[in-house]
Amino acid sequence: GEDVEQSLFLSVREGDSSVINCTYTDSSSTYLYWYKQEPGAGLQLLTYIFSNMDMKQDQRLTVLLNKKDKHLSLRIADTQTGDSAIYFCAPLSGSSNTGKLIFGQGTTLQVKP
């Protein structure tokens, strides 16, 4: 079945770069999303990448996709304390109208001042 794996915890210093990694099993995923979840809140869409792209940059965020290895990463430049949250990668499994997002356990990012 579909599965997503992420490391559970990452700690960085304010101002450093953070890299959150994700591996997934569904090679047919056409869209892959990154979501952020703050304590007690819903999911906030950060960015996405289409499966025919290798890289996408969006302000402080850089997404890298290695489709062959089914590996996705999110780099946050100049990490701030406000970036502390849980980060989920979520490949879309299925078509745009019938698909579902597959989530792993998420990576908790801790940013130290």
Partner 1 sequence: ETGVTQSPTHLIKTRGQQVTLRCSSQSGHNTVSWYQQALGQGPQFIFQYYREEENGRGNFPPRFSGLQFPNYSSELNVNALELDDSALYLCAIGQLYGYTFGSGTRLTVV
Nearer Cβ to partner 1 (16/61): 61
Least distance from partner 1 to the Cβ atom of residue 4, Å: 7
For partner 1, the binding residue among 24, 29, 33, 76 (CB under 8 A) is 33
Residues 48-87 that bind partner 1 (CB under 8 A): 48
With contacts defined by CB under 8 A, how many residues of the chain interact with partner 1? 23
CA–CA dist 110, 9 (Å, integer): 8
Q: Does 99 bind partner 1 (CB under 8 A)?
A: yes
Question: Rule CB under 8 A: is residue 43 a binding residue for partner 1?
Answer: yes
Task: Give the C-alpha separation, 80 to 66, whole Å.
Answer: 27
- Residue 103 has, within 13 A of its CA and on its CB side, a CA count of 12
Q: Does 97 bind partner 1 (CB under 8 A)?
A: yes
Select the residue interacting with partner 1 from 88, 91, 109, 111 (CB under 8 A).
Answer: 88
In angstroms and rounded to an integer, the radius of gyration of the C-alpha atoms of the chain is 14
Nearest alpha-carbon partner for 5 in 20, 19, 18, 24: 24
